[in-house]
C-alpha cells in the first residue's frame, strides 16, 4: 500500500499568507463615513436618509432590522436620543471596494466608550444594506 503524505494547508489565521495584500482605495468610503458621522452629529436624519440610504435600504444591528426610510427615520431618531452627544475617538479599520466598505471605530457617547463596527453595501453611492454593532 502506497501512502502519500499531503502537506498541511496554510493556516487561514496567518493573514499575510491567506489574504494577499491588495491596496484598497478608501477615499470614497472615508468621504461617505465622514459625512455620515457629521449628519448624525447634527441630528439631520432627513439629510442622512436622502444622501446615504436608498428608499428600500435595510439596516441590521445586533438588536433590530429595519427597512425603508420611514423605519430608518424612527430608528435613527431613537438611536440618537440614546446616544446623546458623541465623539469618534478613532477610526481603527477602514476597508473598501467600489460598492462596499466596512469600518471599526472607537466612540465615546452618553452610553460610554465603545468599539463599534459598520459595513455598508452601496449602489449609486447610497446604502442598500447597512450592518452595525458593538464589538465586545
Along the 136 residues of the chain, how does pLDDT read in single tens digits? 444 444 444 444 444 455 554 555 789 999 999 999 999 999 999 999 999 999 999 999 999 999 999 999 999 999 999 999 999 999 999 999 889 999 999 999 999 999 999 999 999 999 999 999 999 7
Query: Do the domain assignments include residue 122?
Result: yes
Name the residue with cell 472607537.
106
Query: Do the domain assignments include residue 102?
Result: yes
Tally of domains within the chain: 1
Query: Do the domain assignments include residue 56?
Result: yes
CATH number assigned to the domain comprising residue 110: 3.10.450.50
Query: Do the domain assignments include residue 1?
Result: no
User: Sheet containing 65-67: which strands, arranged edge to edge?
Assistant: 65-67, 53-60, 126-135, 112-123, 100-109, 87-96
Q: Which residues of 65-104 are buried (b: 16+ CB within 10 A; e: fewer)?
A: ebeebeebbebbeebbeebeebebeeeeeeebeeeebbbb
C-alpha triplet 134, 99, 40: angle, nearest 5°: 45
**Containing structural domain, residue 125:** 24-135
Amino acid at each position: 500500500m502506497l501512502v502519500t503524505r499531503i502537506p498541511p494547508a496554510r493556516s487561514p489565521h496567518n493573514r499575510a499568507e491567506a489574504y494577499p495584500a491588495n491596496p484598497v482605495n478608501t477615499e470614497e468610503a472615508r468621504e461617505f463615513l465622514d459625512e455620515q458621522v457629521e449628519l448624525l452629529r447634527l441630528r439631520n436624519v432627513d439629510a442622512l436618509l436622502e444622501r446615504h440610504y436608498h428608499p428600500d435600504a435595510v439596516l441590521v444591528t445586533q438588536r433590530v432590522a429595519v427597512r425603508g426610510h420611514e423605519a430608518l427615520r424612527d430608528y435613527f431618531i431613537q438611536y440618537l436620543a440614546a446616544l446623546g452627544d458623541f465623539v469618534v475617538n478613532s477610526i481603527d479599520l477602514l476597508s473598501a471596494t467600489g460598492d462596499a466598505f466596512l469600518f471599526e471605530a472607537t466612540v465615546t457617547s452618553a452610553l460610554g466608550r465603545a468599539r463599534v463596527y459598520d459595513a455598508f453595501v452601496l449602489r449609486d453611492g447610497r446604502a442598500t444594506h447597512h450592518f452595525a454593532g458593538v464589538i465586545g
